[in-house]
Amino acid sequence: MARRFGIEGGIITVVAAAVVSLGIVGAVASGQLGGPSKAEADTLNSGQQSMRAPQNVRVDPSIAHASDRPGRSLNITIDDGPSPVWTPKVLEVLKKHDVKAVFCMIGPQARAHPDLVKQVVAAGHKLCDHTVSHNTGMDHQPERYQSQQILDAQKMIEDAAGGAKVEYYRAPGGAFTPYSRKLAADHGMRPLGWNVDSKDFESGSVEAIDATVRGEIGNGPTVLFHDGGGNRALTVASLDRLLPWMKQQGYGFGFPKR
């Protein structure tokens, strides 16, 4: 018997071993023998890629002012929130006039009010990183400090948003540095400036805000308002007056170019 199956037995043994090996490979691939599943492997690979380099590295590091909408267009930007009192009111006015905006949020404010961040995203608006501490002297701080302020805020806002990405970075008071612009761009955020400052933060009346915006509207498309940092009743009232006026002047509304 041994002689009869000498060669055949060897062939059978090899074939059997190959079948077993293929079975083990398949089992490992499917996760049956403790190896990573396809989903797990994809997750591991994704994690390794994100550790190697930030996502969206092709974002332009220059400061954006232009609109992504062709023709006569404006970008409405809202800073310093979210505020549980004023952000819902700003959202109501924007919805009333069918206008989308960019909300530049303070990290801890976003973390404290994730429901508002989600409302902003659900309404079709976009998110902007406005740092952790709103330090208008950011450009005089070391790079390590700038990095902490920008990246920590980005994480807080994105966590609060439940997955929506922060697409812009606005330095407090416009205190950009070459380092902060590149850092933001390397992490998927276009540095965002403004052309028209409504002065709603310091004006004493709706009429004053209205006059400021109307007087500066020819400077460029990106207009700055606030929904945080204090009583924003004048901002809400001004937006309610200015948005229909802007439409009457032939303006449409877009987002800053990415």
**Which amino acid is located at 248 in the chain?**
Q
The dihedral over CA atoms of 82, 84, 86, 90, expressed in degrees to the nearest 10, equals 70
Which sequence positions are flagged as catalytic?
A: 79, 226
**Rounded to whole angstroms, how far apart are CA atoms 106 and 248?**
33
> What is the distance between the alpha carbons of residues 95 and 43, in angstroms, rounded to a whole number?
38
| Residue 110 token pair | 């976003």
- CB distance 127 to 161 below 8 Å: yes
Contact 81, 52 (CB under 8 A): no
> In the numeric block, which tokens belong to residue 63?
């400061």
**Closest listed residue to residue 224, CA positions, set 254, 244, 194:** 194
Please list, in sequence order, all residues whose beta carbon lies within 8 angstroms of the beta carbon of residue 54, skipping any fewer than 6 positions away: 186, 187, 188
